[in-house]
Structure 1
Amino acid sequence: MKKLVTLRAHLIASVPTIRNSPEKMEIFVDKGDVAVRAGSLSFEYSYTASIWVQDHAGSVDTLLVPILAWIAANQPDLFEKGERKPFTFESELLDAETCDITITLELTELVRVEQHARGLKVSHLPEPVLLDQFAGVPTGTALWAGLIDDAAGSIEIVTR
């Protein structure tokens, strides 16, 4: 699972308390599964990843903001969930300065398996790029058609 490797490297590079003591961070999978289709060895990982940081000193924001930045680049669909909750966390306050914190993320990874003359080629695919479906309308604009009562009694397309 390559996303966990990139997440670890990102947190070590971005969070000073982890960079100074990387042994105080553990990343592991609580549960996972694999989805496949008949006739193909390609598959999708789906798993619950947990990040456990011991003795985190200072603001929890210094940990959560880098995780949000990593999600934006590596699992952007978590920002599109209806509840707008890309992860959950639990924390134990150890004293006025430090805490232990566990962050839980639901991650997926697409893996393509292709037959070649010399064997199988396994490729982890990048996250899909979300493109505009309507020319000239910015990505993320929610569109719906609705009747708007106005003086002319016309039908309009409304955005939010």
Structure 2
Amino acid sequence: MLKAELIRSLLQQVSEDLRKNPDKLELFIDEGLIVGAGAHSASYELQYTLNIIVNDFTGSPNMIFAPLMDFIRENQPDLVDNPERRKDGFRFIADHNNHDSIDLSIYLKLTERVLVKEENGKNIIKHLDEPRLNEYPDITEWQLFIGNNLVQTWQTENKERP
């Protein structure tokens, strides 16, 4: 699942704690379904719930939620565009361990389109990009404020596609 690995990379990029302690981040693919495209090819769509577990997290949950929302807008735009998908496409549970840390369990309903086509007697398999939605592709520096206090900063890559 390509999106799961992209999310792992993103969260480790934006959280110093997850970079230093990668075992605090666990990803599980739940409720997976493969749906045939119904065409004269073997193309299909993967549908699954990605369960992202962040253990013993000491920062604000918004340090995780904001980059995930940006990822969703770019890579799973139906979760923000479609009122039905908004209802349950991005959910979470937070367990307070103590005064300093929480365990987060985040559920994202994701899809990945996979094109399978024959070329010269061989099947070529390619993951297809989502339609472009990010209206701020040039923004690469992010800051999270709570009140007037700067809590976190991070850098992302320019997401402009060729």
Structure 2 partner of 1:104: 107
Structure 2 partner of 1:77: 78
Percent pairwise identity: 36
Superposed, 1:5-154 pairs within 5 Å as 5-36=5-36, 37=38, 39-82=40-83, 84-85=86-87, 86-129=89-132
**Do the aligned partners of 1:15 and 1:62 also contact (CA within 8 Å) in 2?**
yes
In structure 1, distance between residues paired with 2:121 and 2:11:
37
In structure 2, distance between residues paired with 1:81 and 1:14:
27
In structure 2, distance between residues paired with 1:61 and 1:119:
46
In structure 2, distance between residues paired with 1:15 and 1:74:
20
So what's the TM-score if we normalise by structure 2? Answer: 0.75
SS at match of 1:34: strand
Tell me by how many angstroms 1:129 deviates. 3.7
Tell me by how many angstroms 1:116 deviates. 1.4
**Do the aligned partners of 2:74 and 2:132 also contact (CA within 8 Å) in 1?**
no
Matched letter for residue 62 of structure 2? D
Superposition RMSD in Å: 1.5
In structure 2, distance between residues paired with 1:30 and 1:44:
15
Matched letter for residue 12 of structure 1? Q
Runs of 4+ in structure 1 off by over 2 angstroms are: 83-86
So what's the TM-score if we normalise by structure 1? Answer: 0.76
Query: For each residue in 1:50-105, what CA deviation from the matched residue of structure 2 results, as whole angstroms up to 9, or x when unmatched?
Result: 10010000211111111111111111111113164540001110011100110000
**Do the aligned partners of 2:58 and 2:101 also contact (CA within 8 Å) in 1?**
yes
SS at match of 1:39: coil
Query: For each residue in 1:23-53, what CA deviation from the matched residue of structure 2 results, as whole angstroms up to 9, or x when unmatched?
Result: 1101111111011115320000011111001
Q: Structure 1: which 5+ residue stretches go unaligned? A: 131-160
Tell me by how many angstroms 1:118 deviates. 4.9
Query: For each residue in 1:113-142, what CA deviation from the matched residue of structure 2 results, as whole angstroms up to 9, or x when unmatched?
Result: 011115110000000246xxxxxxxxxxxx
Q: Structure 2: which 5+ residue stretches go unaligned? A: 134-162
